[in-house]
Amino acid sequence: MRSTILTATLLFAMSIPSFASEKVADTRLLHDLSSAFRKTEQVSWVSKSSYRQASFNFKNQQATAFYGSDKELIGYSIQVSKTDLPKIVTDAMKDNYNDWAVTDAIMFVDTDGYVSYFIQAVTKNKGQILEISTDGDLSVYKTMKK
């Protein structure tokens, strides 16, 4: 269920402009994901109203390829445990959400190789989905009632 919330949010977020700061593309990661997806024999497809997603294994992690209704690749997400988040992402969380618990996290790689992290965090009475860039910029994407 948590991944469903992040996935839906992620797809919507990819349709709006992202951080204004300078981004650095990770084209090697994009290439590795594309290659692994093409070579895998175990793919699980799911169709939604406005997109299709294909789940597969990438370096022993759950990954998903997202395709729009026009059958064009939107990007890839990789399920990330909170202990595997990069230091810049955890530092951004500590600086702004130190008393919040991370309940789910994904790394998203768009078709240009740009990486963002989407974090679902909760506190006593509410939750938020946060987008954190690879340079530590944090924005609240969505606030949810707990």
- Residues 37-86 have pLDDT tens digits of 999 999 999 999 889 999 999 999 999 999 998 899 999 999 999 999 99
Average pLDDT across the chain, whole number? 86
Closest CA to 68 of 83, 54, 84: 54
* DSSP element (H, E) containing 121: strand 115-122
Averaged pLDDT for residues 5-21? 49
Please state the pTM of the whole predicted model: 0.83
* Residue 139, pLDDT score: 93
* pLDDT number for residue 25: 83
Quick one: average pLDDT of 128-140?
A: 93
Q: How many Å is the Cα radius of gyration of the chain?
A: 15
Q: What secondary structure, in 3-state letters, does 38-97 show? A: HHCCCCEEEECCCEEEEEEEECCEEEEEEEECCCCEEEEEEECCHHHCCHHHHHHHHHHH
**Considering only CA atoms, which of 63, 68, 78 is closest in space to residue 15?**
68
Gap between the Cα atoms of 50 and 112, Å rounded: 21
Domains of the chain (ranges; CATH) run 2-145 (3.10.450.360)
Q: What percent of the chain has pLDDT over 70?
A: 83
